[in-house]
Structure 1
């Protein structure tokens, strides 16, 4: 599938910024199941200072906010070719050893709620893949999807206690439970082409578990599916905080308003052109 993404993030500050820095993880990379054909980022009110791949191999850009800026706009546009690998992204790689994905974080620290979640799953734990699918269903049953019910600082325990949350909370609860059972788990942030719309309010988040014999396998708890060709992986980490698209500081900015516009669509024209050039086979 050929997917086109347009993602604009706008920060409006009540007062002129004296000093500001932002870390952007907004550029996907070519990896298992996806090929980045083109990707461009434009900045207004800020300028790029450095770019690198972080310890999770996420493409990362450091930008400084221009002194006196009252607005910062980050616009990303690109095209990614994807394929359905049944959620499998394969063997572990990168600079972070696999055992690091067993460690709890502030957002995924397991408590009584997570332990009760695990106890509620009636599935054979020796069948890791089957158990994880059952665990995914249990999280979805216990945490109703309710936009706006939580925020970026909500923990897995808090989401389970509230019984509501969003994709980030589903992923954190799933990750927390898996780690408690000695299954390496990580958070993935990216994009999802929705079947019923092009414009969206935000990006998407899901989890990956390291399964013996398969490597990393994705689980989108919110949609009860393993990621397919509709998904674009952008960044991963131990939890949302390590994969967040934008983090940073702005000194003297006062109250800040955030607006996001995101569209993810299938590029049917580009797909047909690719198939025609390859004699009907998508390369």
Structure 2
């Protein structure tokens, strides 16, 4: 499938502020699961400088820095992405040690995956949930991942919470509801309690063909030897295929934040507005357009 994504983020300040360097992770990944065909970023007011690089966890990041004082900051991104994974289960788990729970990665792999195995603020409630689902799945790893995804989606209510970091697994279970990022963190903790490496993913999803308007989304990926990182969306209760577009992934949610930055201003408050549209489009062969994914456009607004 081909998607065009238009994402506008506006910060309005109650008075003049100085902007600290801003880290932007709005450029979609380009890998074996999705192909970036076009991307542009418009920043207003224009930054004094910009650099692009690959972060510690392999995410593309754009650092912007500013001079003077501003009353607003607007970032507008546009991307065209082809999603490639039509079957989320087109894999074979190559390591026998990962076929049944709890899993055990070989030492060299486990060392590389250490940040994705480490539990923070361990929750006995999520351990109990994971153990129960693992038992119902007969200890089979893949069956567990599917069952856990479906269980979280069906047993917890969904809520919209546009701002703020994810809640802890214990908080989400106690409340009986959560935003997509809360459910992703709960899923990750359950997986890690069974020895599975998991990471947080931020990105977009297609809600429906007739519903192009969307909002930023979050899910989780689990590492299986022979399959690599595989996505599971506990908000929707499904394995991730070609209706999701990933921006960034990290062992900690903070490392996958699409826009990260602060400001300085005495007594100044800020307001956030977003406008996001994800819609299917024809492929470049149908539109006779060039591939411009390698270039990042900067236009003044």
TM-score, with length taken from structure 2: 0.81
2:201 is matched with: 188
Q: CA RMSD in A?
A: 2.3
Structure 1 residues 12 and 153: CA distance shift in structure 2, 3 A: same
**Partner SS for 1:268:** coil
2:74 is matched with: 73
Deviation at 1:211, TM superposition (A): 2.1
**Partner SS for 2:26:** strand
Given that 2:201 and 2:221 are in contact with CA atoms closer than 8 Å, whether structure 1 keeps it comes out as: yes
Deviation at 1:85, TM superposition (A): 4.2
Q: Distance in 2 between matches of 1:15 and 1:191?
A: 32
Q: Unmatched 5+ residue regions in structure 1?
A: 275-283
Structure 1 residues 271 and 130: CA distance shift in structure 2, 3 A: farther
For this pair of structures, how many residues does the alignment match? 266
Deviation at 1:153, TM superposition (A): 4.3
Q: Distance in 2 between matches of 1:191 and 1:143?
A: 21
1:102 is matched with: 117
TM-score, with length taken from structure 1: 0.86
Matched, 1:264 2:278: yes
Deviations 1:184-205 (A, max 9, x none): 00111111122141112x2111
1:23 is matched with: 23
1:225 is matched with: 238
1:199 is matched with: 213
Matched, 1:216 2:229: yes
Given that 1:139 and 1:170 are in contact with CA atoms closer than 8 Å, whether structure 2 keeps it comes out as: yes
Given that 2:151 and 2:237 are in contact with CA atoms closer than 8 Å, whether structure 1 keeps it comes out as: no
Structure 1 residues 150 and 40: CA distance shift in structure 2, 3 A: closer
2:148 is matched with: 135
2:35 is matched with: 35
2:8 is matched with: 8
Q: Distance in 1 between matches of 2:174 and 2:261?
A: 29
Q: Distance in 2 between matches of 1:149 and 1:74?
A: 17
Deviations 1:126-170 (A, max 9, x none): 421111111112222342112239842422221111111111111
**Partner SS for 2:15:** coil
Deviation at 1:101, TM superposition (A): 0.8
Given that 1:136 and 1:174 are in contact with CA atoms closer than 8 Å, whether structure 2 keeps it comes out as: yes
**Partner SS for 2:199:** strand
Q: Unmatched 5+ residue regions in structure 2?
A: 95-110, 289-301
